[in-house]
Amino acid sequence: MNGDFKIALIGNPNAGKSTLFNVLTGLNQKIGNFPGVTVDKKTGYSKLPDGRIPQIIDLPGTYSLYPKSKDELIVMEALADKKSSVHPDLIVFVADASNLKRNLLLYTQIADLKIPVIIALNMMDLAKRNGLEISVDALSRKLGVQVIPISARNQQGIDKLKEAICNAGKIPLQVESIEVEALAPGLVQKIQAEMMVDLPYVALQFAHQHEQLHFLSADQSDRIEEIEQEFSFHSQKAQAAETIARYNFINEVLYDTITRKIDAKQETVSNRIDKVLTHKIFGFLIFFVILLLIFQSIFAWSEYPMSLIEQLFVWLGEAGHQYLPAGVFTDLLIDGILAGLSGVLVFIPQIAILFAFISILEDTGYMARVTFMMDKIMRKVGLSGKSVVPMIGGFACAVPSIMSTRNIESWKDRMITIMVTPLITCSARLPVYTLLISLVVPDEKVFGFINLQGIVLMSLYVLSIISAILVALVMKYIIKSRERGYFIMELPVYRMPRWNNVALTMYEKVKTFVLEAGKVIVAVSIVLWVLASYGPGERFKQIEKEYQATEFTERYSPEELDRLKASSKLENSYAGILGKSIEPVIKPLGFDWKIGIALITSFAAREVFVGTIATIYSVDGDDAHMESVREKMQSAKDPETGLPVFTAAVAFSLMIFYAFAMQCISTIAIVYRETKHWKWPAIQFAYMTGMAYISSLIVYQLMK
Amino acid sequence: MKLSQLEPGQTGIIKEFTDLEMSVKLMEMGCLPGESIVVERYAPLGDPMAITVSGYQLSLRKLEASTIILQ
């Protein structure tokens, strides 16, 4: 479906653009990418009263056409490039009525691009409460465009807006706001003539932004540079002059369209809430409690649905083995693909819960306050206030947290946050830690009440935070960025969360995760299954034959025999051979080839370590048998020396390895998806594995 | 006097800017010469600050606020 025509939604951040988009399109929306860039493109379709179905494009929120981030550049590219696939036939400009002056700055810029435009005047109720009286008719007359008062949250005025869209013509009717040529006399005309640009404002924008705009060729850009020198054009001075000229026009427009009832002494509700929520002491205390609540909920609420999903897959697997014809195809389907899928889908509850909270915090306006409070601390280590939330989420799972870094406008801050978030102790490390700790740390109390095992576990959590901060500090000096960091940020007024928006965010994030990360996880699971199920040459047949001998069938029960066979097969499978081949590399860390196999298989996900170790030591690897895994590990002896394999040195070396190593396919997949470049997951993998190797080496060599 | 020198509750009127690049961003956000500013609060650790300008709240770092000269 291509849609009958294209409508772009444009407006300031917090003006209600996304809410209007959701109201117009419902669930009929899709997230893609803008051509050539790493910005999500939300598109959807809306049915008009006259039967036409236009495509609605949600462009990134911005305060002006001069972009502060790469996301915002999209707006200019979509509007100025007529050949662009997202070039709209009509613009719906979403304006916050309670803050009309600043909103109209972007409007006047858009209007000068001469695309038909309608103004959707959002948040009229809030404006009224703030004592503002806006004459919609006067505004419409002065700007020459249709102005429709709406309330996107309460879904009011949407029908009128749709009618206005139907009535909109193909010819732009908006009045001129400023005299563009006067801002750069001569230059504008020359660019217009040479580049065949029909609009003076587009020509001026070319002068400002020719280096960034993708659709201009290198030759064109060089020529513009020459023209600029000829007229000694100073981009920032021209921008400042333009902004002042536009505000002069806006002041004239608003002079008798807005009346403010003097009622200044009444302190706004938002201000009163802020006094508590950003209080010197209570502010941090409340933030801490909210974090605790989120953290607890992610664990507590997801436990039941997660085990339900696991059970469903176990049931599916059993049913499959029972009813499908036995054979390679069934094995691949169940042990490869189905196992891989369950690894993906089991994270859905955690992702949904984390994003529900994040979306509530954002919707209410609290997130902006967290950023405000934490900025100073985070800036010291090269991050920004906006990095706090993703890093906290990292305790649950790095995957949704990395998805939530989208809120960070500064590219450099966002990259550093993405790079360090996987260091935070996620829930997948927990089974590995608990198993190893119970193996080597005595269950004793120090000072009579502090559990030693608990201290070790907590130390691992603290270690993860310290390492994330240190790595961020290093990255701060390595990652280069031409962007100058800003913290000029609107603090939106507090509002009730929109529950359907929360639900939609959850749905969207889960969908993205399942589709995008899922592809990679399933592919790798299949590869791992093949590696663990097949061996070179006739080795597997020989094993089968060996175990059919009477000395085995008489000595062992059929179940025990199966386990022995599986263990022996694993040793001779490609994965086993791989384990043996990496043994020389991991020997200095204290790991043998069996642990090597577990390291390789748990590359898919850290918790796979427990399962693999369980298989290798020939026991069933589910939580109920954890005890026996431990016992087996405890009694495992080195065949040559006869000494125990899992000494304290080996166990701690392993824990440190899992603390730092990037043993998670899902994270690699999501980092690739978020950065749209293999370079970032590659760097991340290299530095984390390197750090893990060196730290484990030090720990093992010191402790052995 | 610079904006960063005001105490919470104090008001001022923007006169000019000392940093051209910053001024472009600030003016886009409604901080124009002649516009009045109320300092609402400082973050618990003393930076950044929150101001009210042209009817809404804006947060900015002190370093950024120090480029705004008041009348």
**β-pair type (B36-42, B11-17):** antiparallel
CA distance linking residue A226 with residue A210, whole number of Å: 12
**Contacting residues of A for B40, CB less than 8 Å apart:** 271, 274
Across the interface, which of B25, B45, B60 has its CB nearest the CB of A376? B45
B9 in A contact zone (CB under 8 Å): no
CA distance linking residue A201 with residue A109, whole number of Å: 8
DSSP string, A148-213: EE-BTTTTBSHHHHHHHHHH--SS--PPP-S-HHHHSTTHHHHHHHHHT---HHHHHHHHHHTTT-
- Please indicate whether, in this complex, the C-beta atoms of B59 and A63 are within 8 angstroms of each other: no
Among 3.40.50.2300, 1.10.287.130, 3.40.50.300, 3.20.20.70, name the CATH number for the domain at A1-266.
Answer: 3.40.50.300
Reply yes or no: is the peptide bond before residue B48 cis, omega within 30 of 0. yes
Q: What is the pLDDT of residue A621?
A: 37
A244 in B contact zone (CB under 8 Å): yes
pLDDT tens string B26-49: 999 989 999 999 999 999 998 899
CA distance linking residue A354 with residue A347, whole number of Å: 11
Q: What is the pLDDT of residue B68?
A: 94
Across the interface, which of A102, A281, A377 has its CB nearest the CB of B29? A102
CA distance linking residue A65 with residue A204, whole number of Å: 12
- Please indicate whether, in this complex, the C-beta atoms of B27 and A486 are within 8 angstroms of each other: no
Q: What is the pLDDT of residue A32?
A: 65
Q: What is the pLDDT of residue A520?
A: 64
* Chain centre distance of CA A179: 42
Q: Do A673 and A516 form a contact (C-beta atoms < 8 A)?
A: yes
Distance between A122 CA and the closest CA of chain B, angstroms: 15
Instruction: Render the burial of B16-41: b for 16+ CB within 10 Å, e for the rest.
Output: ebeeeebbbbbbbbbbbbeeebebbb
Q: Please, is A97 exposed, middle or buried when counting C-beta atoms within 10 Å of its C-beta (0-12, 13-18, 19+)?
A: buried
- A401 is written with which tokens? 């947290």
Q: Do A349 and A364 form a contact (C-beta atoms < 8 A)?
A: no
Q: Which residue has the tokens 């997801």?
A: A302
**β-pair type (A55-58, A6-11):** parallel
A270 in B contact zone (CB under 8 Å): yes
**Contacting residues of A for B26, CB less than 8 Å apart:** 488
Distance between A460 CA and the closest CA of chain B, angstroms: 29
Distance between B67 CA and the closest CA of chain A, angstroms: 12
Cβ-Cβ contacts under 8 Å for A684 (sequence gap 6 or more): A418, A419, A422, A662, A668, A671
- Please indicate whether, in this complex, the C-beta atoms of B44 and A101 are within 8 angstroms of each other: no
Q: Do A428 and A394 form a contact (C-beta atoms < 8 A)?
A: no
DSSP assigned state of A644: B
| Residue A411: Cβ within 10 Å count | 18
- What is the ipTM for the molecules in this complex? 0.94
Q: Do A295 and A354 form a contact (C-beta atoms < 8 A)?
A: no
Q: What is the pLDDT of residue A617?
A: 66
Q: At what angle do helices A679-703 and A411-420 cross, to 10 degrees?
A: 40
| Residue A647: Cβ within 10 Å count | 16
Query: Where exactly are the structural domains of chain A?
Result: 1-266, 503-703
CA distance linking residue A382 with residue A238, whole number of Å: 32
Residue type, A404: S
Give the SS3 label for residue A336: helix
Q: Do A648 and A633 form a contact (C-beta atoms < 8 A)?
A: no
Measured in residues, chain B has a length of 71
Q: Do A410 and A384 form a contact (C-beta atoms < 8 A)?
A: yes
DSSP string, A379-435: HHTT--GGGHHHHHHTTT-HHHHHHGGGG--SHHHHHHHHHHGGGS--TTHHHHHHH
Instruction: List average pLDDT for each run of 10 residues in chain A, which is 704 residues long.
Output: 82 88 81 59 88 91 83 85 88 92 94 93 86 90 93 90 90 86 88 88 90 86 90 89 93 88 64 88 89 74 83 85 82 76 76 83 86 88 82 80 78 91 86 83 76 84 90 88 76 86 82 72 74 79 78 74 75 85 92 86 78 62 50 73 85 95 87 88 95 96 90
The CATH number for B56's domain is 2.30.30.90
- Please indicate whether, in this complex, the C-beta atoms of B27 and A373 are within 8 angstroms of each other: no
Closest CA to A9 of A52, A63, A58: A58
Cβ-Cβ contacts under 8 Å for A627 (sequence gap 6 or more): none
A353 vs A298, A299, A453, A469, CA distance in Å?
A: 6, 9, 29, 26
Closest CA to A352 of A421, A297, A420, A284: A297
- Domain containing residue B28: 3-70
User: What's the domain count of chain B?
Assistant: 1
CA distance linking residue A390 with residue A404, whole number of Å: 6
**Contacting residues of B for A271, CB less than 8 Å apart:** 40
Q: What is the pLDDT of residue A68?
A: 73
Residue A534: CA count within 13 A, CB half-sphere: 12
Q: Which residue has the tokens 């791989």?
A: A578
CA distance linking residue A129 with residue B55, whole number of Å: 12
Size of interface A-B (CB pairs under 8 A): 105
User: In angstroms, what is the C-alpha Rg of chain B?
Assistant: 11
Q: What is the mean pLDDT of residues B46-69?
A: 91
